[in-house]
Structure 1
Amino acid sequence: MNNIRYTKAQDASQAISQIKGSMGNKFIAGGTNIIDLLKYFITTADTLVDINQISEHHAIQQTEGGGVFLGALVTNADTAYHPLIEKRYPLLSKAILAGASPQIRNMATNGGNLLQRTRCYYFYDINTPCNKREPGSGCSAIGGYNRIMAILGTSEVCIAVFPSDMCVALAALEVVVHISGPDGNRTLPFADFHRLPGNTPHIDNNLQPGELITGIALPAKGFEKNYSYLKLRDRNSYAFALVSVATGLELEGDSIKDARIALGGVAHKPWRVKGAEEYLTGKSATRENFATAADIILKGAVPYEYNSFKIGLAKKAIIRNCMMALDPQSQLPGAHPSL
């Protein structure tokens, strides 16, 4: 049993000051991931700093530019069911509700969702080599049972996938992450927040030591008219995605004015290829054009022994989800679209 000191912070400055000075000090909010990591001895902590008392991080509010700011401590459930999110960012609401279970969504926070770690089986098994858990030890997944692993953006040292559903929608929406730290406040475009494994798979994101996520800024454009989130998984609830797709379309008649497509379950971060979206811009919203865009997105995909099926599955998922985005009513329970 490891002794852990527990303390509470009343504001962001106090929280940051309590973390500063030791890599063994960690923030805790909902605790839905970090408790598991501690319980399975994947990570350790000298001090847990409870940030739930920071009241200003519990709000969802409209911004002057027409967007919406999500406080980092708002729960996933409260975000998904918030009237502003349901009305203006239904893609985000659907993605959140596709993740985890109601009990976990009631506890998990928006900031914590961005920071969750991979669910690779070998990462959680401390008796096996894992470069993500112990840099330089090796990657058991590459030559092991790699059915759920990545096919895009992999490296020779890691093929783990990032598990979040919420973050796939955030990638498509092009949000901005707000951060506070020892050196002050800063913002980071969501595309630059998470990292590919490269030679440092143990570093999941570009937060600096002691930094705290304070919120997520949603842009004014929410693709509320044409959107879809599709999650393909082994069972219909409480399962991580084999492949997921978030699609937002802005249409002028039958022509695509703007397109956003992000994938989950296929890489170390939400996967988005702007070249595919640029290809679709100005073209007709047809199955054939969506298929070409899918090929662009999946170019360079590398299958492993047990996950080669993901390439074909991802292409079909992209096409299907884009077609569903043309008619969001097709996503309602009981609907039977011929997609």
Structure 2
Amino acid sequence: MREFGYQRASDVPGAVALLGAEPEARYLGGGTNLVDLMKAGVERPGLLIDIRELPLDRIETTEDGGLRIGATVTNSDLAAHPEVRRRYPALAQAVLAGASGQLRNMATVGGNLLQRTRCGYFTDMSKPCNKRVPGSGCPAIAGEHHNHAILGASGHCVAVHPSDMAVALAAFDAVVTYETADGAGELPLAEFYLPVGDTPHLETALPPGALITGLTLPPAPAAAMSRYRKVRERASYAFALGSVAAALDVHDGVVRDVRLAFGAVASRPWRAREAERMLTGGPASAEAFAAAADAELTAAEALPGNAYKVTLIRNLAVAVLSELADLPDTTEGTPR
């Protein structure tokens, strides 16, 4: 590991100033992803700026009935917070589905948003990777890609975003707040992650030197009836093969509001806008859920080793929506 400096920030402007003075610096929250990447040689910061003691560790109710979550709130505290569990249960479930208890005790909300792909080629310094070295190639396309993207990928990168938390945040229209030397700003999560295109090394729309200070969840009555379900290769700590965050408001058998997002299928959390459009105002039936999921997945471009994800996500979406609508789960054996 390269030698690096360490400095603890005492306030937000001071943290931003420290990064501005050292272009090779990185903010350090829980370090659960950054330190691993430093050990692998993927990240080589000259300075770590410890932000854990900044006053960004609170969860507060907003005036309009939403929630404001500080960037240094730990994943464990986020999942355990009573207002998160009551108003946005899928978010608590998503956080608890990610990592291990020990990691959740260290990992922070801001760091979770910025965690990088777990693609094996990205973390293997002996292999080319367009995320790590732009223009070097993407060996996953012809190589090992069973857990890679089926939506929104490109010929330059097929890696997926690993966060469970971000999938639920995408379903609930979260807004990321940040601070720069020029002042405060915000980004809807829908705009926070950049499309892969031909620049997969550019992952977020954060301005240079920006420090994430937190995120805001707008009020969403449907979110109180929400679920997060994750499929993985083992029951213990493992990244998703596919996941679904869903919220559903049904009245007299008609869908009044629906939120749907997919995880582990793209380089960013995938908000299923077409499926939502089809379902809103229509019947809350397993047939309607299946038709909407199929319509969303018409954009899928699977590789030979990950085509199973199309069926997996389709059936998972139907199962979660059916559960929320109190319908029997009929996905077993359903043909694609």
TM-score (norm 2): 0.96
**Residue matched to 2:334:** none
Name 1:256's counterpart in structure 2.
255
CA shift at 1:197, angstroms? 1.1
Contact 1:227 1:324 in 2 (8 A): no
- Output the CA distance in 2 between the equivalents of 1:227 and 1:185: 31
Q: Which residue type is aligned with residue 2 of structure 2?
A: N
TM-score normalised by length of structure 1: 0.95
Query: 2:319 touches 2:330 (CA, 8 Å); kept in 1?
Result: no
Output one character per residue of 1:121-153: Cα deviation in whole Å (capped at 9) or x when no partner.
110111011001111100010010110100100
Q: Is the Cα–Cα contact under 8 Å of residues 28 and 49 in structure 2 kept in the other structure?
A: yes
2:310 matched residue in structure 1: 311
Letter in structure 2 aligned against 1:134: V
Deviation at 1:275, TM superposition (A): 2.2
CA distance in 1, matches of 2:103, 2:42: 20
Q: For structure 1, which runs of at least 5 residues remain unmatched after alignment? A: 331-335
Q: Report if the CA contact (8 A) 2:88-2:226 is conserved.
A: no
Q: Deviations over 1:50-93 (max 9, x none)?
A: 001112x0100111111110011000110000111111111110
TM-superposition CA deviations, 1:270-324 (whole Å, max 9, x none):
0013222111011111011101110121112111121111111111111111112
Aligned to 2:63: 64
1:87 is paired with a residue whose SS is helix
**By how many angstroms is 1:225 displaced?**
4.3
What is the DSSP-based 3-state SS (H/G/I as helix, E as strand, rest coil) of the residue aligned with 1:297? helix
User: Which deviates more from structure 2 when the two are superposed, residues 307-316 or residues 70-79?
Assistant: 307-316
Q: Is the 8 A contact 2:289 2:321 kept in 1?
A: yes
**1:177 partnered with 2:176:** yes
- The equivalent of 2:33 in structure 1 is 33
Q: Distance in 2 between matches of 1:129 and 1:101?
A: 30
Q: Which 10-residue stretch deviates more, 250-259 or 162-171?
A: 250-259
250-259 or 166-175, larger mean C-alpha shift:
250-259
Aligned to 1:79: 78
Could you tell me which residue of structure 2 aligns to residue 333 of structure 1? none
Contact 1:95–1:229 under 8 Å retained in 2: yes
* Counterpart for residue 115 of structure 1: 114
CA distance in 1, matches of 2:61, 2:48: 32
CA offsets per residue over residues 231-269 of structure 1, 9 Å max, x none? 011001211111100001112121100111100010000
CA RMSD of aligned residues (A): 1.4
1:223-242 residue pairs with structure 2 within 5 A? 223-242=222-241
Moved over 6 A (4+): none
Retained in 2: the 8 A contact 1:180–1:211?
yes
Identical residues among aligned pairs (%): 45
Q: Distance in 1 between matches of 2:305 and 2:277?
A: 32
* CA distance in 2: counterparts of 1:285 and 1:226, whole angstroms: 14
Q: Tell me if structure 2 keeps the 8 A contact 1:150–1:159.
A: yes
The 5 Å alignment of 1:2-17 reads 2-17=2-17
Structure 1: distance between partners of 2:79 and 2:201: 30
Please list every run of 5 or more consecutive structure 2 residues that lacks an aligned counterpart in the other structure. Answer: 332-336
How far 1:23 sits from its partner (Å)? 3.0
Amino acid at match of 2:149: A
Whether the 8 Å CA contact 2:27–2:48 is kept in 1: the answer is: yes
Cα distance between partner residues in 1 of 2:269 and 2:78: 20
